[in-house]
């Protein structure tokens, strides 16, 4: 049976399709709309060229998101996501003049699948639950990043006219995101208004923010801090800056609420997954960080045949550049940034949760390795253990992971 390869050049409102045989001959081409009718036309075209449940035609496309990809995944066919930078390099093989068109891009994608299928991985066969956790975990991480960005903008703005309030939230673990700080700023966004707050008003602010214990002492602390002398802007400028603070505060409140709600939804979905018990058995991995790890790894355990492949994907394994007599070992920058970010949190938390992890980190530091490099090496070690546990369906064992310190 002749092999057929499909390339799809994805766009916002339409998609170009190209079908090639194993010799590279163009069999058919089509442009479809991003609608159910367009999807039906695509499936009919594939069926005309031998597509069947037993022998589905593989598809190459430049994105892993969207309804088109989701519907194609539902048919059970292998879908290869090609990096746009990779596709651009391949395009030069077929068009030396560097011309570009949607139809040409679709042919290039099909040719990539025809000539180098072993160099690219199909989308993993993750369960629907794992895909839902991926959506929630990434949205929660985006919300946290938005919260940090908006909080930094608010802090920078307060420093310009209300530096005294910056000493208020240093007392709280949540910092500027503390409910007390946000409630205080919403009530008195300028230093003049804050200095006029009475003790009963401060007590009411604390209770409205959810404070239940040690209210009297906190009232006295705030009453003293907000009345300390400080430089001030002219009254009209101060009032305008207070209005801007309220606008920024509304954005900050929305970011904090979104992050909290998405965290609850993420952890609720994660705890129902079969891999959750194994993942959270690792030191330093709680429900939220574990959900972020699962979101990037998925639950298709054939995706990474070896621990080495997983480490390269996470960016924890170094990369070697060798030319002649010169060999250089460097940190890997092309990686899954979300997984690497979660790994940094995981490795840092493991330092206090696992004696073996701490001893491993200390050994790396003893040979004059910097903190970031030592922590990345620890993450690399823990990833290997995670790959072992997930593929063999066994929980984490400190004695096996770090036998020298068990």
For residue 198, the SS3 value is coil
Q: Is the pLDDT of residue 351 over 60?
A: yes
Q: Which residue has the tokens 């070896």?
A: 306
> Strand 319-323 and strand 326-330: pairing?
antiparallel
Structure tokens at 202: 């401060």
What are phi and psi for residue 209, nearest 5 degrees?
A: -85, -5
* Cα-Cα end-to-end distance for the chain: 57
Cα-Cα-Cα-Cα torsion 349, 353, 356, 362, nearest 10 degrees, comes to 50
Cα-Cα-Cα-Cα torsion 353, 354, 360, 362, nearest 10 degrees, comes to 50
Q: Is the pLDDT of residue 1 over 50?
A: no
pLDDT band at 346 (very low <50, low <70, confident <90, very high): very high
Mean pLDDT across the chain: 89
CA distances from 209 to 203, 260, 315, 379 (A): 10, 16, 42, 38
DSSP calls for 56-95: PPPEEES-S-SHHHHHHHHTT--EEEPPHHHHHHHHHHH-
- pTM metric for this prediction: 0.85
Cα-based angle 362, 326, 90 (whole degrees, multiple of 5): 100
For residue 184, the SS3 value is helix
Q: Is the pLDDT of residue 335 over 80?
A: yes
Lowest-confidence region among 39-53, 130-144, 239-253, 321-335: 321-335
Strand partners, 7: 18, 60
pLDDT band at 41 (very low <50, low <70, confident <90, very high): very high
Query: Measured between alpha carbons, how far is 108 from 110 in angstroms, rounded to an integer?
Result: 5
Using alpha carbons only, how large is the chain's radius of gyration in Å?
Answer: 28
Query: Measured between alpha carbons, how far is 59 from 70 in angstroms, rounded to an integer?
Result: 13
**HSE of 5 in the Cβ direction (CA atoms, 13 Å)?**
23
Q: Is the pLDDT of residue 28 over 80?
A: yes
For residue 152, the SS3 value is helix
Tell me, what's the pLDDT at 2?
Answer: 53
* Long-range contacts formed by 289-292: CB under 8 A, 24+ apart: 289/342, 289/345, 289/346, 289/349, 291/133, 291/136, 291/137, 291/266, 291/267, 292/137, 292/141, 292/338, 292/339, 292/341, 292/342
Strand partners, 81: 61
Structure tokens at 184: 């205080």
Q: Summarize pLDDT for 270-281 with one digit per residue, the tens.
A: 999 999 999 999
Polymer length in residues for the chain: 406
Structure tokens at 360: 């491993």
Q: What is the mean pLDDT of residues 230-239?
A: 90
């Amino acid at each position: 049976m002749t092999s057929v390869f499909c390339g799809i050049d994805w766009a916002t409102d339409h998609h170009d399709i190209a079908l090639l045989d194993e010799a590279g001959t163009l069999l058919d081409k089509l442009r479809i709309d991003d609608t159910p009718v367009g999807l039906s036309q695509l499936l009919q075209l594939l069926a005309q060229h031998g597509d069947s449940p037993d022998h589905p035609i593989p598809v190459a496309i430049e994105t892993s998101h969207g309804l088109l990809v989701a519907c194609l995944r539902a048919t059970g066919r292998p879908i290869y996501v090609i990096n746009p930078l990779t596709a651009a390099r391949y395009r030069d093989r077929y068009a030396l003049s560097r011309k570009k068109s949607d139809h040409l891009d679709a042919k290039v994608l099909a040719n990539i699948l025809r000539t180098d299928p072993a160099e690219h991985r199909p989308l993993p066969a993750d369960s629907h639950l794992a895909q839902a956790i991926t959506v929630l975990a990434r949205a929660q991480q985006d919300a946290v990043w938005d919260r940090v960005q908006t909080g930094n903008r608010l802090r920078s703005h307060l420093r310009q006219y209300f530096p005294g309030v910056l000493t208020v939230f240093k007392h709280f673990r949540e910092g500027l995101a503390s409910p007390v700080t946000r409630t205080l700023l919403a009530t008195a966004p300028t230093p003049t208004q804050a200095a006029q707050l009475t003790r009963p008003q401060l007590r009411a602010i604390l209770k409205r923010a959810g404070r239940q214990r040690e209210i009297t002492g906190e009232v006295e602390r705030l009453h003293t801090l907000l009345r300390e002398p400080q430089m001030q802007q002219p009254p009209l400028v101060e009032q305008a800056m207070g209005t801007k603070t309220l606008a920024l505060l509304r954005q900050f409140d929305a970011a904090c609420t979104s992050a909290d709600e998405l965290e609850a939804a993420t952890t609720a979905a994660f705890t129902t997954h079969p891999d959750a018990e194994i993942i959270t058995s690792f030191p330093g991995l709680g429900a939220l960080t574990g959900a972020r790890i699962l979101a990037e790894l998925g639950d298709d355990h054939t995706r990474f045949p070896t621990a080495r492949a997983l480490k390269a994907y996470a960016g924890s394994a170094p990369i070697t550049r060798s030319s002649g007599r010169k060999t250089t070992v460097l940190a890997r920058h092309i990686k899954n940034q979300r997984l690497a970010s979660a790994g940094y949190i995981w490795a840092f938390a493991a330092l206090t949760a696992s004696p073996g992890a701490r001893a491993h980190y200390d050994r790396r530091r003893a040979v004059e390795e910097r903190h970031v490099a030592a922590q990345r090496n620890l993450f690399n070690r823990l990833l290997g253990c995670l790959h072992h546990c997930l593929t063999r369906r066994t929980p984490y064992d400190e004695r096996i992971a770090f036998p020298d310190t068990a």
